[in-house]
Amino acid sequence: GMAVALAVALAVALALLAADAAKDPLLNVCMDAKHHKSEPGPEGKLYEQCSPWKDNACCTANTSLEAHRDQSYLYNFNWNHCGVMPAKCKRHFIQDTCLYECSPNLGPWIEQVDSSWRRERILHVPLCREDCEEWWEDCKDALTCKENWHKGWNWATGTNRCPWGSPCRPFSEVFPRPKDLCEKIWSNSFRYSPEPRGSGRCIQMWFDPAQGNPNVAVAKYYAWRKRSSPAQPGTVAPGSGPATRALPCSVLLLLPLGLLLLPEGLGALGTRGS
């Protein structure tokens, strides 16, 4: 009976270990930012371009609706700062907002940031080649006055206006290549990836939810790579998230139980001969 009890205790310990390991701090997480939920979950009513994330989302239905508005309360950001942005261009910015707000698969690229409106941001997310190229292609004739849209605007009126002395020019002049658009517009939130959609090596802004979310596997791959490469100076070592630090707890809790359940002869081994 004791042997069975011991086996059960060990099985429980292993199950708890597996459950802890499943809570990878880089996977299936929401960043700590202005509108994100604290953890991802299903959202039945996500609006239009945000709907691919409805099975597991970091955004609420209301956030998804606001992502589609011209003058959304999300960031009070005006897409039409150089005249009306063409619809074929704007849809990429809406999709970009949906990815940022709704995706639970950006964990490997979340960085701490000291900002008034968010504590975390994304940095160098490898965006699939086609996503960058189509975004650039559909926006190349649209007009803007700035390369980095994160900062440097004139906010005197409460909404972003072009700073004094920055004329409106076509995107193709401000961003000569798709790589420039993807990498510079949100201060390196994205990195232009040479990899194609479906490669499992780049994040897709656009995907067909009927085929499942391709970014789940991509996040797993980069989480594994982040763990297996030596930590860069200034970055948190991948194994130091709260979930990984908690890993031994379940084992420690179960050790006394395992020792109690040990057959008498085994338990006495340590004391014999002292």
Residue 253 lies in a domain: no
Residue 19 lies in a domain: no
Listed ranges 21-35, 54-68, 213-227, 228-242; the one with the highest mean pLDDT = 213-227
Sign of CA dihedral 184, 189, 191, 193: negative
How many domains is the chain partitioned into structurally? 1
Residue 167 lies in a domain: yes
Residue 14 lies in a domain: no
Sign of CA dihedral 195, 201, 207, 212: positive
Poorest-confidence range of 31-45, 152-166, 212-226?
Answer: 31-45
Residue 246 lies in a domain: no
Domain containing residue 138: 24-228
Residue 265 lies in a domain: no
- Of 100, 105, 106, 91, which is closest to residue 48 (Cα–Cα)? 91
Q: What is the mean pLDDT of residues 21-33?
A: 73
Residue found by looking up tokens 């074929």 in the block: 88
> Cα dist. 73→44, 84, 221, 222 in Å?
22, 18, 35, 33
Distance, in Å, from the CA atom of 161 to the CA atom of 155, rounded to the nearest integer, reads 6
Residue partners of 270: CB distance under 8 A and separation at least 6: none
SS3 80: coil
SS3 23: coil
pLDDT of residue 126: 92
Residue 219 lies in a domain: yes
As given in the structure block, the two tokens for residue 176 are 């000569």
Residue 87 lies in a domain: yes
